[in-house]
Chain A
Amino acid sequence: MPKIGILALQGAVREHAQALADLGADPLDVRVPGDLAAVDALIIPGGESTTISMLLDSAGLREAIAERLGDGLPVFGTCAGMILLATEVVDGRPDQRSFGAIDIGVRRNAFGRQVDSFETDLAITGLVGEPFPAVFIRAPVVERAGPDVEILATVDDEPVLCRQGPVLVAAFHPELSGDLRLHQLFLGGI
């Protein structure tokens, strides 16, 4: 049973843990560098990217995670997690730093404020069956995707689900909709 770490500094941690447990994986909260040693893959959940970014530094997790990512650790970032894994962040705070694990530029809060947050049915490349019920909450979009980035889904022609090697990122929250197919896709790649 693969051990999947979930960065548990702030945000929607337990929804990811539930999805992973439902799929028979072993979720593990990651709060300090020592927690990383045991994990076969990592999820960076939704939350406030500015807050999580700050807490990554104070917990000494930034270097530890960067090192594992450099070694090819499979990682799935949702919403704030996508922002933290991108190469560039437009509209972020000037001191906000990201891991640069996937060659994309993202814009924060690209769909507007909370009153513009929405649910929609999303067609996803490689996913069989019904469209995916996607929940977008003050969501980011991908404004630039590098040549090695696969775009798996779009909204208004803007990428919202991307993959590059072991890195999968979603602008929306698959952990909130009760549909396990994207977690399954991620686990399948480990």
Chain B
Amino acid sequence: MTESTDRRATGTDRVKRGLAEMLRGGVIMDVVNPEQAKIAEDAGAVAVMALERVPADIRRDGGVARMSDPAMIEGIKEIVTIPVMAKARIGHFAEAQVLEALGVDYVDESEVLTPADEAHHIDKWAFTVPFVCGATNLGEALRRISEGAALIRSKGEAGTGDIKEAVRHLRSILGDIRAITQADSTELYGWAKKLQAPVSLVQEIAEKGELPVPLFCAGGIATPADASLVMQLGAQAVFVGSGIFKSDDPAPRARAIVEATTHFRDAGLVGKVSRNLGDAMRGEESNKVETRLSERGW
């Protein structure tokens, strides 16, 4: 038997992406206080996203949306045993540093908050904490991965309760991946140019047939059937923002979305858990909103 080494490597790709792999098939829920965090954990959430206002309220209230109060994030960390994520503004590496120092488990560099940098995202390789970033298409996803993101989520149109943007983003990302697997080696350079993404990542996709990191869905999920839809399209887990705590009766809806995400191919079960949940969040059509959050990010 060879000796164990005492060396421990933290913040490696494998460790960062590994936590995302562990969240597969699960639901990550937006929460704004410890009480909601408890409801989310009780309903079977695999993680919570701590933020001050859910996207629907950010839309309604307007103003600049920033990182949450650290005291609020600490309050949530104390009450749940599941991973806690929190959002930093696009390009705001100082907010991300604070979140890392607080010991959050994942940082979401999020378009839901007001961007802090109009040209640059955070250099995520510089951190031990892993990052999740939103994307509307494959090029955006690959640029975020090249900056060190360990998990990609579709952006959708947060706070609308309208699923169509998330569907468009997933179809765009996964459709291009399917096309790349059919391309020959010369065409991959053309793909890299078209996507404005590193050719090495395009080649990796051609070889593996999927992103180098997990792909989750966010933005507009409001019902168990929405979760089933995006999982069948190829998302590996779902983020639910306003969809739970802006609905009539959050706890049973949260539980139903968890069940539907696990058994997403079982239409009978999705139907069963969808019964008598009360009204879903009212929402608004994504093409009628004033501010398109999904257009933030470069």
Q: CB of A143 within 8 A of chain B?
A: no
Which listed segment binds B: A33-41, A67-75, A97-105, A124-132?
A124-132
In the docked arrangement, what's the CA distance between A93 and B42, Å? 9
Least CB distance, A41 to chain B, in whole angstroms: 21
Q: Please give, as numbers and ranges, the residues of chain A lying within 8 Å of B81 by CB-CB distance.
A: 50, 91-93, 108-109
* A1-55, CB < 8 A from B: 8-15, 31, 46-48, 50-51, 54-55
CA distance A12 to B263 in the complex (A): 16
Secondary structure call for the A interface: loop
Closest to B6 in A: A120
Interface size class of chain B, counting residues whose CB lies under 8 Å from the partner chain: 35 or more
B11 CB → nearest A CB, Å = 7
Partner of A48, one of B5, B15, B47: B47
Q: How many A-B residue pairs have CB under 8 A?
A: 141
> In the complex the two chains form, is A46's CB within 8 Å of B22's CB?
yes
Q: Which residues of A contact B12 (CB under 8 A)?
A: 118-119
Given contacts A11-B22, A131-B5, A176-B18, contact A118 B44 (CB under 8 A): no
Which A residues fall within an 8 A CB radius of B?
8-15, 31, 46-48, 50-51, 54-55, 58-59, 79-80, 91-93, 108-109, 112-127, 129-131, 135-138, 153-155, 173, 176-177
List 6 tightest A-B contacts by C-beta distance, closest first.
A114-B105, A118-B8, A123-B4, A10-B25, A48-B46, A54-B44
Can you offer 12 A-B residue contacts whose CB atoms are under 8 A? Answer: A10-B46, A15-B21, A46-B22, A58-B259, A59-B262, A112-B103, A113-B105, A114-B129, A115-B103, A117-B15, A127-B1, A176-B21
